[in-house]
Amino acid sequence: MRQALVRFLVDLAQRPSSFAKKLGWITLGMGTFLFLSPWLLGKGVRALGQGLAPFLGVIEGAVGILGLGAGLSIVGWVIAVQWRLGAGTPMPAAPTRKVVTSGPYALCRHPMYFAAVLYHLGFVTMTSGLGPGVAAAGGVAAFVVFYARTVEERELEARFGEEYRAYRARTPFLFPRGKDLWEVLRRVF
């Protein structure tokens, strides 16, 4: 099943992607990323935060704003870099045509997933509380780690071979290293 999905994604990546197709896939992906996914996660884990003390409001507001701001900023950065340098998008139906290793991709191999964790932490914290936000971010992180390791990285290796293996060997998986994370936050804010 996993190998069939990897083959399907490699085949899909070989198809040409017009400007309209790239824009359409970005629109669909961002609608799912920005609204549907956090709404469903927030509803699903809201009950976890019901017992938290009211004094957490200030902390929740700060976590929410920082998570949303950092997540959205990184998403914009990733889309711009993939479009400009990789001639593609983050969506599998209109992927990049080459390995992108600069910008956010110099900091970690999956900056879009890193942004998703931050965004979900912020969105769900603002709408449902800190407990549900942390649970949602953890759920997103667990899912993307599983998917990226078992499908996406295999597909990238199948498409780009040694160039991707060398990039993978020198670049952190999901979270930038400490000093690099501070650089990301400095650039974002």
Chain segment 41-57, per-residue pLDDT in tens: 666 555 445 544 455 57
Predicted local confidence at residue 48, as pLDDT? 47
9-24 core/surface letters (b: 16 or more CB in 10 A; e: else): bbeebeeebeeeebeb
In this model, does residue 154 exceed pLDDT 50?
A: yes
Question: From the centroid of its chain, how far is CA 122?
Answer: 14
Q: What is the pTM of this model?
A: 0.70
**Axis-axis angle for helices 19-31, 57-86 (nearest 10):** 170
Length of the chain: 189
Q: What is the pLDDT of residue 54?
A: 53
pLDDT at 46: 56
For residues 119-125, average pLDDT: 93
Place of tokens 């629109």: 27
pLDDT of residue 135: 92
pLDDT digits (tens, 9 = 90+) for 58-114: 788 888 889 989 999 999 999 999 999 998 888 888 888 999 999 999 999 999 999
CB-CB contact of 105 with 86 (8 Å): no
Q: Specify the pLDDT at position 112.
A: 93
Tokens representing 40?
């469903």
